[in-house]
Structure 1
Amino acid sequence: MRILGWNCRGICNASTVRALGAQIKGARTKVVFLSETKADVYRMEFFKKNLKFDESCVVEANGNASGLCLMWKFGIDLKVVEFNKDLIAVKVSDQCVDWMLVGFYGPPYYSEKKKAWGNLFALLESHQGPWAIMRDFNYIVNEEEQLGGNKGGPSATNYLKELLFEFNAVDLGYSRNKYTWARGAIKSDHAPILMDTNPCERFAHKPFRFEAVWLRDERCSAVIKEAWKGKVSGSEFVKLYKKQAVTREALRKWNKEVFRRCQDRINSLLKKIKEVLHLKMDFLKKIFKPSSRNGSLEVKWRRNNKDAIKNEEGTWIHESGQIKDKFWENFINLFKEEEVYFPEHLDHLVLPCITEEENEGLICIPTPEEIKDVLFQMQGPWS
């Protein structure tokens, strides 16, 4: 599902609507989130029909400011969870999992930030399950995300950083334009953002897998150490994420240069083996042709063919379809779970193996420090 998010800075403009329509058509989006629409419900209903969407949730603008709208098409299973002047939250149900999509607009004024972000934090805390935010946060995580302008004082609260830390949230990253906002632009000064929850296979990245065979090569550890030395910025969690990403790319490049795609070579050799076996079978068939002289070979080939089977009543079954059904029925019965009767008065015979105190220790959730200690004590290739 493709979701388009855009701070349109006012939808009541013909050129803005044309630009939005072109984006929707080009990206084939099913869901659109608009912020700062500066429009009421009736205008957004008109634009929804004009853009060929079927359902919507609208938060009217306050005069000539703000305004939110989430539109979606038939076939998308969405249910509105909550909405106010700063956000619209919906539950999305797809084939894999139910998750929450939040369209959020962070107020640019300090006096309004605390309430808006407080509502967002409360919503995320109350939700059990995965979520994603299409947003205009009006915050940056690090200085690399901004070019020029006032970067704000270090004492000001950065609610975006707090959200990433409190909820262990992950920035999904981006492609193409690094900066999505420009001061002094005509019409909307924000670039639209497209999120694809199910990208086409041809565009999907190949998942990274650490190969145990790499550890046999002494150069592997040097590649990892060199990649890990790189300087990155951000919080401790973000630094760890970025270093892991750099290390993955370094190992991918090294694997391609050194091992020359081992799996491709293995597949090529397997293909050649199959070709040789196929030629050998053709040769044997030409020598042992079915005839009166070589009838034993023909009989041997037919020996594993089930022409008839006998059921429980002693009746022979000859039809192939009935034979298949009978095999399937017996297989199901063979592995069917049987009901076991356990008398209640025998409960005292099963003595407890552990104490209540030991059981509490087994079911308690390990702390981050305990997880860290266990991971650092691991041995072998996966440590």
Structure 2
Amino acid sequence: MTILAWNCRGLRSALAVRTLADEVQAKDPSLIFVVETKTGESRMKGIRNKLEYTQGITVPSDGRSGGLAMMWKEGSNIRFRSCSNSHIDVEVHENSASNPWRATGFYGHPDAGKRFISWQLLENLKNQYFMPWIVFGDFNEITQSNEKIGWLDRDANQMEEFRETILGVMGGGAQRTKVRLDCMVAPEGWMRLFPEARVRHVAMSISDHCMLMLTLERQQPQKRGNKRFFFKAMWTRDERCKEIVEEAWEPGWAEVELGIGDRIKRCQENLQAWNWKEFGHVYRVLKQKKEMLQQLEC
């Protein structure tokens, strides 16, 4: 099982939605939590349908600020508990043989003077009911000054309040990632349930916030199979694309008996050959650039 959490800084643009869709397609998460959507229920419903994560909870933004969304696929045994402008709380029931656990997406108040309200909310959530629990999202605070690089120094009292909250809510054995503003925290009870759980910070080119990726089991290497053909949207921006399709689709006199399946196959082959010649390994280059960005973020 995989969980993604990301402060996307808005899902109003097609680029932001496409970036999220690419990550979802690549990682196939069971649960997605998005912070600062800056949009309402209607648009988030459209995004959920595009991602094919049709179930979930949306907390609409206040104008052009805030907004939360938790999404999962139809058929998943995930039960909604509560929400506010700062959190979405659900229960995860993987199967009848495993214990249910809590997953809370969290957004710390952006106003430092009101952040104590967020810490009070965490304490209230802890006391609502008891089961293994993990909290993830953008806390808008760090526990120590060496967890940030650059910009203004953090207030020592603010960091101390956050440390006390984490210790009080999660207990002395709270496990954390290499904490930045975006992090995941869990007490020992949850860690015992998922001893192989791992968290990665994934650098995102369109946001200054990394995406959090939590995997509950050690991932097994996948066997490489034949690659599926995908039509690339970028091809349509080149005038030659239409010509390639027409040339492949219209048979010559000697090929007049070509069926629909044969024509589609020839279109695929010609487009792939043209893509290699004109664009080369563009997606491999993008992957390499993302890896470089990831190394700079760490």
| TM-score range normalised by the length of the shorter chain | 0.5 to 0.7
Q: RCO greater where, 1 or 2, for CA within 8 Å and sep 6 or more?
A: 2
**Corresponding position: 1:191 with 2:210:** yes
Query: Which one-letter code corresponds to 2:144 in the other structure?
Result: N
Residue 170 in structure 1 maps to residue 175 in structure 2: yes
Amino acid at match of 1:132: I
CA RMSD for the aligned pairs? 2.3
- Spell out the pairing of 1:1-383 with structure 2 (5 A cutoff): 1-95=1-95, 96-156=98-158, 158-166=160-168, 167-168=170-171, 169-172=174-177, 187-201=206-220
CA contact (8 A) 2:56 2:71 kept: yes
C-alpha distance in 2, partners of 1:70/1:177?
Answer: 19
Check whether the contact 1:164–1:170 (CA below 8 A) recurs between aligned residues: no
CA pair 164-115 structure 1, distance change in 2 beyond 3 A: closer
Q: Aligned equivalents of 1:82 and 1:36: distance in 2?
A: 18
Q: Report deviation, 1:198.
A: 2.7
User: Gaps spanning 5+ residues in structure 1: where?
Assistant: 204-383
**Deviation of 1:117 (Å):** 2.0
Amino acid of the residue matched to residue 74 of structure 1? E
Q: Which amino acid aligns with 1:3?
A: I
The CA distance in 1 between the partners of 2:111 and 2:163, in whole Å, is 18
TM-score calculated relative to the size of structure 1: 0.48
Deviation at 1:108, TM superposition (A): 2.1
> 2: CA distance between counterparts of 1:176 and 1:165?
22
- Contact 1:139 1:158 (C-alpha < 8 Å) held by counterparts: no
The structure 1 segments of at least 4 consecutive aligned residues displaced by more than 6 Å after TM superposition are none
* TM value normalised by structure 2: 0.61
- Which whole-Å deviations, capped at 9, do the CAs of 1:26-72 have from their partners, x for residues lacking one? 11112110010000100100111011112010001001100000010
Identity %: 27
Per-residue Cα deviation, 1:319-376 (whole angstroms, up to 9, x for no partner):
xxxxxxxxxxxxxxxxxxxxxxxxxxxxxxxxxxxxxxxxxxxxxxxxxxxxxxxxxx
Give the deviation of 1:189 after TM superposition: 1.7
SS class of match (1:76): coil
> What is residue 307 of structure 1 aligned with on the other side?
none
Report the Cα offset of residue 201 of structure 1: 4.9
The alignment of Structure 1 onto Structure 2 pairs a total of residues equal to 198
Q: 2:200 & 2:216 partners in 1: Cα distance?
A: 18
CA contact 1:5–1:134 (8 Å) conserved in 2: yes
